[in-house]
Amino acid sequence: MADHYEVLGVARDASPDEIKKAYRRLARQLHPDVNPGEDAAERFKLVTHAYDVLSDPEQRQRYDVGGDGGFGGGGAGFGGFSDIFETFFGGGGGGTRAGRPRSRRERGQDALVRVDLTLGDVVFGVHRDLEVDTAVLCETCQGSCCQPGTQPVTCDICHGSGQVQRTVRSLLGNVVTSQPCTTCQGYGTTIPYPCSTCQGQGRVRARRTVSIDIPAGVETGLRLQLPGSGEVGPAGGPNGDLYLEVTVEPHDVFSRDGDDLLATLEVSMIDAILGTSVTIDSLDGAVDLDVRAGVQSGDVLTIRERGITPLRGSGRGDLRVGVQVVTPGHLDPKSRALVQELAKRTKPAPPHLAEFHPGLFSKLRDKFKR
């Protein structure tokens, strides 16, 4: 068996790039399409097999230590032509056969619409009628792209195939390739009388109304998909999808924590001492709340199922109300005397340093987030 390095004419320590260059040079000289002689065909087989072995690091290593190298690559013989074609032209051998013509009907593009919601909309969900500027089907031609009463005609250049062939001369001989027909743009047909309304596109720009039920529980940044509600495609192709991107506007009183609503209730010092009942306005109506006697700033009062309906699931979250006891900044003499009398009766402990608790100053926040 001939030495692979001698067949390619390279040294045993030749680099992969040197081996590839040698193979290209010999392939140009010996390929059957260029040199049809029997001797050239046999040499081409040897060159191809040698390159298959030496271009593969594992096979080359086995060959160098005494193995036969095998036929792990493209194999000897004329089957290596596709590899050579790819090396020189970047594609498969034998030229490109004419394929089917392109379809004028294509899927429409997706559309994105931003929707602003209030926190109240999020509690139960909301219905919206949205005005969307998009592409719609041309009513004149109904997507045919032709003037009414006319139709596309077969291209007289490519005869309906959408492609034309041309012959390229190369070192390997004549190679036949195919490319889209420039007359019909690869469609296989031409439109001699385009629709005057849509200029032969089969669609026009227009505003249309899209009705959508936005579910409860959505939040800022969420995208809702409406399949088939986007732009109609060229030549009346299927519609793309419509995406709604949600933005929830901040509320002056309530904020959101998952499916719960958070609020702050300011309570006077007297009400905090004695306790009281109050009616507050939630996002879906008035609700009674009992403030127990001795409530402290940072305590959280929970009203069950007055929060947000989950996006996926049932029931509702809670309304959590954080208490903030308001100490009067100014007292008239009589009120001050009453407070002093209360102090004498209750004898409160004087201010003193107590055990340090991390996060004491964010007590209210921590209770909200527990």
Residues in binding site for Zn(2+): 138, 141, 155, 158, 181, 184, 195, 198
Task: Report the sign of the C-alpha dihedral through residues 114, 118, 122, 125, in that order.
Answer: negative
Residue located via tokens 């924590």: 257
Q: For 104-118, b where at least 16 C-beta lie within 10 A, e where not — what string? A: beeebebbebebebe
* DSSP state string for 225-289: EETT-SPPBGGGBPP--EEEEEEEPP-SS-EEETTEEEEEEEEEHHHHHH-EEEEEEETTEEEEE
Q: Backbone phi, then psi, for 206, in 5-degree steps?
A: -160, 165
Helix (H, G, I), strand (E, B) or coil at 59: helix
Burial class from Cβ neighbours inside 10 Å (0-12, 13-18, 19+) for residue 251 reads middle
Radius of gyration of the chain (CA): 41
- Paired with 301 in beta bridges are 321
Q: Which residues are annotated as a binding site?
A: 138, 141, 155, 158, 181, 184, 195, 198
Provide the H-helix boundaries in the chain: 4-8, 16-30, 38-54, 57-64, 81-89, 119-124, 269-274, 333-346, 363-368
Task: Give the residue among 271, 272, 291 at the shortest CA–CA distance from 280.
Answer: 291
Task: Give the residue among 186, 135, 145 at the shortest CA–CA distance from 163.
Answer: 186
Contact 173, 34 (CB under 8 A): yes
